[in-house]
Amino acid sequence: MTANQQSNEVTVKHRHRPEGPEKHILVFIFSIILTAIAFAAVMAGGVNATFAVILLLVMAVLQVVVQMGYWMHLKDKGHLMPILFMIGGFFVASTAIVMALFWVWW
C-alpha cells in the first residue's frame, strides 16, 4: 500500500445526513400537546389561578424553545450569532418593559 492510498483512507469525509420529517412530526405533536395542556388548564374552572399562570408560563417557555430550535433550525451548527442576537434583543426588550413600568408607576 502506498502513502497516497493511506492518506486517502484517513481523510474520508462523512456525508451530511438529511434530517427527514420524522423529527418535525414529533415536534409538531409535542407542540400540540403543550397547547392542549395550556387550554385544559384554563378551561378547568377549579384550577388555582396562580398555578394556572405558572403552568402557562412554563408551557410558553417550552413552546419558544421548541419553535426556535426546530422550526427556525437554531439547533443546527453555525447559528450562534442569530442566537446571541436574539438573547440580546430579549434583554433589551425586557429592560425597556421594566423601565417603562417603573416610569409609569414611579
| Residue 83 CB neighbours (<10 A) | 14
pLDDT of residue 16: 64
Query: Are 63 and 31 contacting, i.e. CB atoms less than 8 angstroms apart?
Result: yes
pLDDT digit string, tens, across residues 44-99: 878 888 888 898 999 999 998 888 887 777 777 887 888 889 899 999 999 999 99
pLDDT of residue 83: 84
Residue 8: pLDDT band with limits 50, 70, 90: low
